[in-house]
Amino acid sequence: MQIREAIPGAFVGLAAGLIAGALAALVGQPLGWALVTMVALGLPLGALGGGFSLLVAAGRLPAGRFAPVALYWLVAFPLARLVHETTVSLVLTGQVRLPPDLAGFLAYQGIVSLGWAIGFLWLHERIALRLRAAAAR
């Protein structure tokens, strides 16, 4: 297995971080805060997305099916958001702070993860197809 097989998922996660940072800047957050959001969300989503791609490439998860993607992100997305939340609080306040209602936060992120899984799967499959086609040439 090669590291290039992680590219589709890593790209989707990093792109999501870039978009989150751009949206933060668009709504008027200071540029530094927007950059923190971009990095603190993009890196965990990129790493977990790349991990997903590697699991698919290794045959541990089936490609193109929603249920395995949804189950993967049901755990991975709340984890990425928790990393984002604690990193942002550390950078902005100098203290690591967990959300006040951690169980509620994780439950809500689990619900949101289904929407993320739909978009992730769609983009992941498109990017993976293009990479496979380019490699076959």
Q: Report CA-CA distances (Å) from 42 to 3, 34, 60, 67, 133.
A: 18, 12, 24, 23, 27
Split at pLDDT 50, 70, 90, the class of 134 is confident
pLDDT for res 84: 96
- Which DSSP category does 95 fall into? S
* Identity of the amino acid at 121: L
pLDDT for res 113: 97
Q: What is the pLDDT of residues 30-81, one digit of tens each?
A: 999 999 999 999 999 999 999 999 999 999 998 889 999 999 999 999 999 9
Share of the chain above pLDDT 90, in %: 81
pLDDT for res 1: 61
Give backbone dihedrals phi and psi of 28, rounded to 5 degrees, phi first: 105, 5
Average pLDDT, the chain: 93
Q: Is the pLDDT of residue 110 over 80?
A: yes
Q: Is the pLDDT of residue 136 over 90?
A: no
